[in-house]
Amino acid sequence: MGTYFELDKLDLLKAQFDTAEYDAEQAEPALYIGKEQLLDLMRVLRETPTYSFDRMGMLTAVDYKDYIEMVYSLYSRRYDKWVTVKVKLDRDNPEVESMTQIWEGTNFEERETYDLMGVKFLHHPDLRRILMPDNYEAHPLRKDFVPLEPRIEGGVLTWHKQRSMS
């Protein structure tokens, strides 16, 4: 898929944003950024003519047990380049700026990430569950997920924490 973003440009970004860093030893290093500067970085990546990453290829979150990592894969149709941006989030209260402010098309993917991983997106226009039932209280893709128990209460399907298995 095209070529990876040049390292010297990554260096430029690193100079511009103080929380930006990358592992220079990797062949295709992901750009890590602090969550406060994510929105600004994305704006720069999208709007600077020499970068022009106009496409949010993929957006997801990975649960690494002690933190949650947001992964953004950006693609520039103009230069045929791609770059991965990662943000580490606090696992207990994962919050990050919504990318719908820059790419409107990330709406559903962010809702999915919220639904399955529990990451809250700030300034998202319509942050609701998308795949799981609205009254479901767990986030299935977390590593410590235990399936909830379905029960019918008063004709309504409700979900409850499982009683101990023993």
Partner 1 sequence: MAQTEKYVLNMGPQHPSTHGVLQVQVELDGENIVGAKPVMGYLHRGIEKLMESRTYVQCVPFTDRLDYVSAMNNNLGFCMAVEKLAGIEVPERAEYIRVICAELNRIASHHVFIGSLTNDLGSATGMIYAFRDREKILDLFNIICGARMTAHYIRIGGVAADAQDEFLRDTQKFIDYVPEMLDEYNKLFSGNEIFQARMKKTSIITKEMALKFGMSGPNIRASGVDYDIRKIDKYGAYGKFDFDVPLGKRGDNWDRYMIRMKEIAESAKIIQQALDNMPEGPYMAKVPKVLRPPKGDAYHRVENTRGELGFYIVSDGSTKPYRVHIRRPSFVNLQALDTMCKGMLLADAVTAFATIDPLMGEVDC
Binding site for partner 1 (CB under 8 A): 1-2, 54-58, 60, 62-63, 71, 73, 77, 80, 84, 103-109, 112, 116, 129-133, 140-141, 145
Lookup: tokens for 75: 């693609």
Euclidean distance between CA atoms 104 and 56, whole angstroms: 10
Cβ 15 to partner 1 shortest distance, Å: 26
Q: Which is nearer to partner 1, 122 or 131 (CB)?
A: 131
3-class DSSP state of 99: helix
Q: Identity (one letter) of the amino acid at 161?
A: K
Cβ 116 to partner 1 shortest distance, Å: 7
Nearest Cα to 118, choosing from 105, 132, 100? 132
Q: Which is nearer to partner 1, 38 or 139 (CB)?
A: 139
Cβ 105 to partner 1 shortest distance, Å: 3
* Phi, psi torsion values for 20, nearest 5 degrees: -80, 140
